Chains A and B, each alone.
Chain A
């Protein structure tokens, strides 16, 4: 049975459709990521699943329960780090874990949890003196106090420097080892790529693509490209002289290679053009290419200026 089921979920604020009919499922034991830019509707979605906001339409079920009605019971069974996790200034991580343990009525070895999130060295430091990375780790620690099988992480590494981010990723990977189910929202592609089994790309309240990384790449990716550092005139030349799909962006002419000898044609034409070029390489679409393109497209659709 899936841990989380979302069916045609809708939520508006005033005239704004924050969540505009999305559906997805999170299977037991997987790490699922909602990926999208700020304002995509990720936090609204996850907060509805946490029982912090009420939905307008559609159905949601978390561990078989209605989060809005059964929130109290649900919270005992899951761990949550909300967006912008904060804690009391004058509490240490060890005290915070023991506090949560008392609230949840569970017995925990605080030091063991601290070790799990690699926070032992800061166990007795007041929250207001912790670094950003340490604070996020504390949030993770607290979400594990009641040893939940399902964990929700809302933007767990936003605002952290790359080093801290990687440290938090290590901890999240550990969660995966423990066969926990994790729902993660993020606007960092790398994070989704590193951690998630399956991804749903969200923008403007809609899911524009979902599946495993490979599935998305295959479905949305446009295949291999030949990239040349040259001027726009080369791009225009190739566009008129060949029937290849050519793009120009930031000083790079990008040619889509659909058929095997497209590469040969391109190189020949570049030589023929006599236009100056510098470096040359081939590469495949990465998730980043896809993401940027899809988000850009869906933003264009919504009528915004890209």
Chain B
């Protein structure tokens, strides 16, 4: 029988303990905001801006670019996808690139106009780094222009055009993605570190033994922790959303469908933290196991960057982490307003939470024998 009075009494003691210990407040509330400010600032300009590419036009006639090659360069420029930096024809292109710490470049060969008008095959050289996003853009744009020129020469005309649209509600920036990611981060770390610490310490200090001499039950003790961390999560959520929106102009969808995540998320990680804490022999070993569980999850669940940029095998691993579904679910609601898949994520989280909670309660012993 769960007594609300006892849960509330324990909740009061828990909240005071948390608020009076500075680490608690810092870690759960201040630290995620600091992360948001740092990451938000780092990525606030970045990848959506034009890519720098170096261009060398070797097709000169009397020291001046030929009409065809100039037109090609002009076409590259007009896409506004790249910021073109001209390289003198006399320079060694590769050396020039290296000395400017870049790997992206386009070289128009000498004889471009002559070959082009005569219909003889010629090659535009595109320099790039296969792994780099910027290189993909450079080669993509160059191909597009090359095709356009080829088509023009063949006398054809464009039938199909491309109109660029954004999938997200109002256009996504990195910050829109970062907010759900950091909320997920907070939902993971605040309860995990606290509960691993408390559970293993209380076990060592025989505080659980002592509490077993009072009417307080294990379920009530756990429930009070869950309630507290739900409250912390909601506070953290409000704080981070406010910072994201007012400091970085983020666009988020605030929907009631967020609430289940803010409740079941903490429930899952309070249980997990307690499981690790009570299953370990000492606070030191508990901390090691807790960190082993928390840190990989923290980075590989789509919190700071989308998992799509990771290799496939790592993406598979990400799907094992409960946090992945929390972050994906939050993203589905806040960024894409895609409730259906969000609910599936919620179901997965709920199922995992029940299993972990069950295990935690079974292993959580207050008496010895």
Seen from chain A, the residues whose Cβ lies within 8 Å of a Cβ on chain B are 47, 50-54, 71-72, 75-76, 80, 82, 84-91, 95, 98-100, 102-105, 126
List 25 interface pairs A-B (beta carbons < 8 Å), by A numbering.
A50-B213, A51-B367, A52-B209, A52-B213, A52-B367, A52-B368, A53-B368, A71-B212, A75-B214, A75-B215, A82-B206, A82-B209, A82-B213, A84-B205, A84-B206, A87-B210, A88-B207, A89-B17, A90-B16, A91-B16, A95-B12, A95-B16, A99-B10, A103-B9, A105-B215
Chain B nearest Cβ from A126, distance in angstroms:
7
Q: CB within 8 A of A88: which of B17, B209, B367?
A: B17
Q: Note all chain A residues with C-beta closer than 8 A to B20.
A: 90, 126
Q: Note all chain A residues with C-beta closer than 8 A to B207.
A: 86-88
**B168 within 8 Å of A by Cβ?**
no
Those 10 A-B pairs whose CB atoms lie nearest each other, nearest first: A102-B9, A90-B20, A54-B369, A90-B17, A86-B205, A103-B214, A80-B213, A103-B216, A99-B13, A103-B215
Cβ of B206 and Cβ of A89 under 8 Å apart?
no
Name the residue on B nearest A55 (C-beta).
B369
Q: A84-B206, A88-B13, A102-B6 are in contact. List 14 more A-B contacts (CB 8 A).
A: A52-B209, A52-B212, A52-B368, A53-B369, A71-B212, A86-B210, A87-B210, A91-B17, A95-B13, A98-B9, A99-B9, A103-B10, A105-B215, A126-B20
**B148 within 8 Å of A by Cβ?**
no
Complex Cα gap A87–B5 (Å): 20
**B8 within 8 Å of A by Cβ?**
yes
Q: Note all chain A residues with C-beta closer than 8 A to B205.
A: 84, 86
Complex Cα gap A95–B9 (Å): 10
**B21 within 8 Å of A by Cβ?**
yes
Chain A nearest Cβ from B213, distance in angstroms:
5
Name the residue on B nearest A84 (C-beta).
B206
Cβ of B5 and Cβ of A105 under 8 Å apart?
yes
Chain B 211-226 near chain A by CB (<8 Å), digits 1 or 0 = 0111110000000000
Complex Cα gap A105–B91 (Å): 88
Complex Cα gap A80–B215 (Å): 13
Cβ of B212 and Cβ of A91 under 8 Å apart?
no
Complex Cα gap A252–B248 (Å): 87
Q: Note all chain B residues with C-beta closer than 8 A to A87.
A: 207, 210
Q: Note all chain A residues with C-beta closer than 8 A to B216.
A: 103
Complex Cα gap A100–B9 (Å): 8
Q: Note all chain B residues with C-beta closer than 8 A to A86.
A: 205-207, 210
Complex Cα gap A82–B280 (Å): 23
Name the residue on A nearest B215 (C-beta).
A103
Chain B nearest Cβ from A50, distance in angstroms:
7
Q: Note all chain A residues with C-beta closer than 8 A to B21.
A: 89-90
Name the residue on B nearest A102 (C-beta).
B9
Name the residue on A nearest B9 (C-beta).
A102
Most buried by B among A52, A91, A104: A52
Most buried by B among A51, A72, A102: A102
Most buried by B among A71, A82, A98: A82
Name the residue on A nearest B12 (C-beta).
A99
Q: Note all chain A residues with C-beta closer than 8 A to B16.
A: 90-91, 95
Name the residue on B nearest A47 (C-beta).
B368
Q: Note all chain B residues with C-beta closer than 8 A to A84.
A: 205-206
Chain A nearest Cβ from B87, distance in angstroms:
65
Q: Note all chain B residues with C-beta closer than 8 A to A52.
A: 209, 212-213, 367-368
Q: Note all chain A residues with C-beta closer than 8 A to B10.
A: 99, 103
Q: Note all chain A residues with C-beta closer than 8 A to B13.
A: 88, 91, 95, 99
| Contacts known (A72-B215, A102-B5, A103-B216); A85 close to B210, Cβ less than 8 A | yes
Complex Cα gap A52–B365 (Å): 11
Complex Cα gap A98–B13 (Å): 10
Cβ of B210 and Cβ of A104 under 8 Å apart?
no
Q: Note all chain B residues with C-beta closer than 8 A to A71.
A: 212
Chain B 3-44 near chain A by CB (<8 Å), digits 1 or 0 = 001101110110011001100000000000000000000000
Chain B nearest Cβ from A78, distance in angstroms:
9
Cβ of A104 and Cβ of B206 under 8 Å apart?
no
| Contacts known (A53-B369, A86-B206); A104 close to B214, Cβ less than 8 A | yes
Q: Note all chain B residues with C-beta closer than 8 A to A98.
A: 9
Complex Cα gap A100–B5 (Å): 11
Q: Note all chain B residues with C-beta closer than 8 A to A105.
A: 5, 215
Q: Note all chain A residues with C-beta closer than 8 A to B214.
A: 75, 100, 103-104
